[in-house]
Structure 1
Amino acid sequence: MPFFKYLDYKFYFDKIVFKDSLFIVVSGSHAYGWNTENSDLDLVRVFYPTVRQALSVMFRCKNNHFKDKFNNKIVDCTEYPIQNFISLLSKGNGNVLDNLFQSSNNELCIIRQDKEVKELQKIVIDELHDGFRKHFLGYDMSLKKDLSNESRLEKYGMNKLLLSRYRLLQEGIILCEHKEVVYNLLKQMEYIDTKYCEDLLNSYIESRKFYRYKNCIVEIEELRQKLESLQLPKYSGLPYCLDTWLIDKYIAMK
């Protein structure tokens, strides 16, 4: 089991079922690179339901979400049955794409089936399609609207919303240009040169004032224009390849 630095393993043995998990990872701010002492801990678990749970109309296994507390820290856990995770991945969902590649990071991964994770990662990179790029653009547009919404601004703050826009757009650009999944904001800076992103990130982590919001917004819009100008294949064999992979796994389990 990989080393995990955020919480005591006992929490997971008490609260989360390890059996039949494809992986359990830390996501959210800890993965993106802007976690602070006050950050919640976001966990994602992908697991294999039983054949009945996977196929039954009456007892089909659904996504599960729960919150708990450990060492005065909020733990927010989302669990995906493998078929739901595969479905989202095949459609180009960037969130589950991040989760899949976070599972390769030993500082974020609690448990994983290494062979299966590598197989899925290879399938996705070999069969990338434009749905991923559109996901990043769509999510960014939602965050852009949040910047004009007082309740959302109050909840998340200007800095975090702008950091999220930087991260999404840069991840999309790197995916299109390099065919790599880079979800961490600091690592993205190794690929894309920005003038204001690092200062914004440091000001957020250090809880200090930031004065260049207008510059950030201009720079972010330039990143958006660049991502809009790029393209991945409109169609790919990703849905078929993922579906075939999943069927083979269940046949092997019998």
Structure 2
Amino acid sequence: MQDEQLEQLRATLTRQRYPLLFITLSGSHLYGFSSPDSDYDLRGAHILPLREVIGLREGEETIEQHHSENGLEVDLVTYDVRKCLTLLLGKNGNVLEAIYSPLVIHTTPEHEELKALAMRCVTRYYAYHYLGFARNRLKQASHKQPPSIKSVLHTYRVILTGLHLVRTGELEANLRRLNEVFRFSSVADLIARKEAGGEKAQLEEGAVALYEAEWRRLLSDLEQSVESSVLPVKPDAQAQAGLNDLLIRLRLQTV
């Protein structure tokens, strides 16, 4: 990402109503298969002030905005910090990936605290987030002819991120790096075609069938990897207590 684009994205954040815990870049830029016409998916957490969580009138737990920023299409989604932490403990891979995205647009010292605690709360059952997401992708692919190359890449990315997580305990959302481990020639080819053809690049009629058998095999591998995973069965109790303390401190800072 160029410095000019980074500054444009940060300008978006200056108009936010609530203090921000962190904002990172997700979507195709994080996954390693962006094209020149890809939009910018910003994800993160905001901090509702104490008065908006203890009264009858509650603040916005989820904020979604989509707009154009000097030619950049920006999709911004933030959760209140309590909802963010609840989703994290509820095995939500999207939140986990947002927390650890290396493409940081805005950060705070408390974000660093969160990163130090969050992976200690990741269990082997995070696999079910990736299994569920991939199964939905598989259903969509079989009903949509022909699917976009982007959709096919998303399916590979979701499955391989889940497999890598349960087998190694490491989170990797970038499909290029994942493919250095799994080495699918089809993935490298699809990434090149997506970069050249853009967001709307389509597969040829019937081509998705070439990938479905591979996806089903990988899904089976992911299912079988759950019980043998290097990840624990339960979140670390001290890390959970640390998240609770972090939330309280963040709330009190807004008084």
Question: How high is the TM-score relative to the length of structure 1?
Answer: 0.83
Deviation at 1:206?
1.6
Alpha-carbon distance in 1 for matches of 2:2, 2:254: 28
What is the CA-CA distance between 1:57 and the residue it aligns to?
A: 3.9
Asked if structure 1 preserves the Cα contact closer than 8 Å seen for 2:12 and 2:69, the reply is no
Q: Do the aligned residues in 1 keep the contact of 2:40 with 2:75 (CA within 8 Å)?
A: yes
The range that moved more, 212-221 or 186-195, is 212-221
Cα separation, partners in 2 of 1:118 and 1:11, compared to 1, 3 Å: closer
Q: Does 2:244 correspond to 1:243?
A: yes
Query: Is the 1:62–1:80 Cα contact (8 Å) retained in structure 2?
Result: yes
Residue in structure 1 matching 2:195, options 197, 205, 226: 205
Question: What does the per-residue CA deviation read over 1:35-59, in whole Å, with 9 as the maximum and x for residues that have no partner?
Answer: 1122111112311110122333422
Q: Is 118-127 or 79-88 further displaced after alignment?
A: 118-127
**Maintained 8 Å contact 1:32/1:185:** yes
Which runs of 5 or more residues in structure 2 are unaligned? none
Partner of 1:100: 99
Could you say what the CA RMSD is over the residues aligned between the two structures, in angstroms? Answer: 2.8
Alignment of 1:136-175 (within 5 A): 136-150=130-144, 157-175=147-165
Contact 2:149/2:190 (<8 A) preserved:
yes
Alignment of 1:113-128 (within 5 A): 113=108, 115-128=109-122
Q: Quote the residue 1:224 is aligned against.
A: 219
Tell me the alpha carbon deviations over residues 221-251 of structure 1, each in whole angstroms, 9 at most, x when there is no partner: 2221111111244432465553343224435
Shift in alpha-carbon separation, 1:176–1:4, aligned structure 2, 3 A: farther
Counterpart secondary structure, 2:38 = coil
Name structure 1 gaps, 5 residues minimum: none
Residue 172 and residue 179 in structure 1: after superposition, are their counterparts in 2 closer, same or farther (change >3 A)? same
Shift of 1:143: 0.6
Report how far residue 97 of structure 1 moved: 0.7
TM-score, with structure 2 as normaliser: 0.83
Pairs aligned (count): 244
Q: Is the 8 A contact 1:196 1:215 kept in 2?
A: no
Q: Residues of 1 paired with 2:140 and 2:4: CA distance?
A: 33
Q: Which amino acid aligns with 2:76?
A: C
What one-letter code is carried by the residue in structure 1 that aligns with 2:120? D
The equivalent of 1:90 in structure 2 is: 89
Q: 1:4: how far off?
A: 4.7
Deviation, structure 1 residue 64: 1.0
Asked if 2 retains the 8 angstrom alpha-carbon contact of 1:67 and 1:75, the reply is yes
8 A contact 1:46–1:81 mirrored in 2: yes
**1:112 to 2:112 alignment:** no
Fraction of identical pairs, as percent: 23
Distance in 2 separating the partners of 1:5 and 1:187 = 26
Which amino acid in the other structure matches residue 247 of structure 2?
A: L
1:3–1:201: structure 2 CA closer, same or farther, 3 Å change rule? closer
Question: Is contact 1:36-1:205 (8 Å) kept?
Answer: yes
Bigger relative contact order (CA 8 A; separation at least 6): 2
Q: What does 1:8-47 align with in structure 2 at a 5 Å threshold?
A: 8-9=7-8, 12=11, 16-17=15-16, 20-47=19-46
Given residue 181 of structure 2, which amino acid in structure 1 is its aligned partner? Y
SS at match of 2:181: coil
1:40 & 1:184 partners in 2: Cα distance? Answer: 17
Q: Alpha-carbon deviation of 1:100? A: 0.3
Where does residue 177 of structure 2 map in the other structure?
187
Amino acid of the structure 1 residue aligned with 2:142: S
Tell whether the 8 Å contact from 2:161 to 2:178 is kept in structure 1 after alignment: yes
Moved more, 228-237 or 70-79: 228-237
Residue 123 of structure 1, CA deviation: 2.0
Pick closer, same or farther for the CA change 1:97–1:117 going to 2, 3 Å.
same
